[in-house]
Amino acid sequence: MGFEFGIAEENAFNYLDEEELQRACKNIEGKALHTLDVFCAIRYHTINQDGKRKPLKFDYHILRFTFYNKDVELQISHERGTQRIPLEDLVTFLANRTNKELATRQQRQLVLKHLHTL
């Protein structure tokens, strides 16, 4: 399984490579960010006996982060694909990975207060 992320810029999403990530960080540095829309592609694959990856299906999600004083609200929309991973599991995975990164930076970690699915 592999992840690809992109961030919204006007009417398009730019995939996050190192250069795009630095540009985005520079643009939001010191600014109060109200919302952030993120494209998330989850690509599934198997590895054959030769060690080569064989692509399988994929899932596309749109994540909208809304920032408040001390809280962040996350809304997720499954846009396309087989949805092999339940949205609750995806949120938990993303929160755990984010907290791992925040811990290495000695910053306050996220606390998941409420998870509501439709």
Structural domain that includes position 21:
2-84
Say how many Å lie between the first and final Cα of the chain, rounded. 25
In a domain, 50, yes or no: yes
Mean pLDDT of the chain: 84
Query: What is the number of structural domains in the chain?
Result: 1
Exposure letters 84-102 (e unless 16+ CB within 10 A, then b): ebeeeebbeebbeeebeee
pLDDT in tens, 12-54: 788 888 888 888 888 777 777 788 888 999 988 888 888 888 8
What's 50's DSSP letter?
A: T
In a domain, 74, yes or no: yes
In a domain, 110, yes or no: no
Q: Which of 98, 36, 32, 30 is nearest to 66 (CA)?
A: 36
Rg (CA), the chain: 16
pLDDT over 70 (residue 112):
yes
In a domain, 61, yes or no: yes
Cα–Cα distance, 66 to 35 (Å, whole number): 4
In a domain, 40, yes or no: yes
In a domain, 113, yes or no: no
Q: What percent of the chain has pLDDT over 70?
A: 97
Residue 52 has a pLDDT of 87
In a domain, 104, yes or no: no
